[in-house]
Amino acid sequence: MAKSIVTLVDNLPENNITTKVLTALDTLFPGEWINFRGFDDAIRQITQETNPEVLQRIRDKAIALYDDPKNGYQSAVFLYQTVDRADAALGTAALADKIGEKIGLLGFLSKLTPKADTSQTIDLVLKISVEAIAYCKLNGLPQANPQVLAQALQENYRGAALVRMGTLVCVDGLLPLGPDFLEKVHSIIGQVDQTEVQNNSGYTVLGSALPGEDTASKLGFLSENFEAVRGWMQNWIAKTGASRSSVFSQLGRFIEFADDNLDLVAAFLDQTTNYFTHTGIQTVATHLIKRAYQDVQTEMGLLPGTVVPPEPAPTDAGATTLQLPQPQFRHVQTDTVLAIPKVSIVHIGKPNPQYPPEVDLSPLPNSDVVSRLHANLWSDNGFEYYILDVGSSNGTYLNGVLLEPKEKHLLQNGDRLDFGRGEKVSLIFEMG
């Protein structure tokens, strides 16, 4: 029997090699990856709800939705798990569970043999195709469509899903195949022999999940998916500045590699991390919780256009209901109130194709000092809010103090944020 979604999320590790890798790469998608501390924590983070009754109803609804096989959630999790099982070839689970601050790998790396380019290419396009299939299952689409995945990447990939695809580019593309991996994969996948595909360990495990009646048609599907997302990967690399050296440097902050042979580093990560499973479970849980929340709101008459049932008579005159504070920004220069939407991560900046801002500062005077990707705001519990400068050009100042990029800071009611020098774009954080 498949594990429940609650068990899957509750069992996600908080500190192992997988989480270290995802944390290390956070600079490429700052603030997008947040590791849940259990399923109930995920519900609170995603919905920002604090009402115990609503939280329980969301939990019950999410469990029921996941347990119904018609919804495709279990199938998506199975695909994410299977991808990682196909990669774990050397039985290195014990090593993957080590949680020291620094992990020396000299002895382990000496035993590794990097994959051949053809084998690595097949693994890469398999993972992309699994992503396409899982996305369609999550969204109730009848069959996987490469163009659907390409469009989704451009328009609505956020959080763990975006992190998974970015990590794929770094760990399965740049590190093992080099900076020209997109051209290399394009060339190899167009000439690969069907026998090589059939003998690939990943294809042996995942081939039956691919559409097509024979190896030739399945190979065509793999190629179509890669070509569909190739442009997105190229643009993502250009926007983030990801490179072999920068990825290796970021990983080195958390894992002490004893050798700079990047082929061996890639082989190590391939066999000791399960980032597809980890972020895949988070993606499924996020999708599930959002859907459950919407269903519960509809059932309780909490959405616009629905009939709100009458409040029951209070049973305890002294009882009080915990109210979630409503945060907002007040623009100092114009005394304009800017609403802070209820989403897991609030992107602050100006319109951009990568992370469209929930708080758009472009209409404000002197907004030329604001970066397109300037800062992120979020709350873990609905009461405490954090601000993080994502690496803006002109900096973010909290009460006159310049914030270090990529470091979160707790906000207090009345705190002043200046975006750029000269106090030209200033916001007061207010908790209603």
> CB atoms < 10 A from the CB of 130, how many?
24
pLDDT digits (tens, 9 = 90+) for 172-182: 999 889 999 99
| Residue 329, beta-bridge partner list | 338, 429
Alpha-carbon distance of 330 to 338, in angstroms, equals 6
Q: What is the pLDDT of residue 317?
A: 41
| Residue 430, beta-bridge partner list | 328
Q: Checking phi first, is residue 303 left (phi over 0); if not, alpha (psi -120 to 50) or beta?
A: beta
Nearest to 329 by CA among 425, 410, 405: 425
Alpha-carbon distance of 69 to 71, in angstroms, equals 5
Q: What angle do CA 131, 137, 138 make, to 5 degrees?
A: 90
The answer to whether 205 touches 193, Cβ cutoff 8 Å, is: no
pLDDT digits (tens, 9 = 90+) for 69-82: 888 999 999 999 99
CATH number of 327-431: 2.60.200.20
The answer to whether 419 touches 428, Cβ cutoff 8 Å, is: no
Neighbour-count burial of 38, counting CB atoms closer than 10 A to its CB (0-12 exposed, 13-18 middle, 19+ buried): middle
Residues 6+ apart with CB under 8 A from 237: 169, 174, 243
Q: What is the pLDDT of residue 390?
A: 87
378 sits in which H/E element: strand 373-379
Residues 6+ apart with CB under 8 A from 390: 30, 31, 373, 374, 375, 376, 405, 406
The residues spanned by each domain of the chain are 5-290, 327-431
> CB atoms < 10 A from the CB of 52, how many?
9
Q: What is the pLDDT of residue 306?
A: 40
> CB atoms < 10 A from the CB of 12, how many?
21
The tokens describing 208, both together, are 């039956």
The residues of the chain scoring below 70 in pLDDT are: 1-2, 87-115, 254-272, 301-325, 354, 381
pLDDT digits (tens, 9 = 90+) for 19-39: 888 888 888 888 788 888 899
Q: What is the pLDDT of residue 429?
A: 95
pTM for the whole thing?
0.67
Q: What is the pLDDT of residue 419?
A: 96
Q: What is the pLDDT of residue 43?
A: 93
Task: Say whether 409 sits in a helix, a strand or coil.
Answer: strand
The answer to whether 259 touches 106, Cβ cutoff 8 Å, is: yes
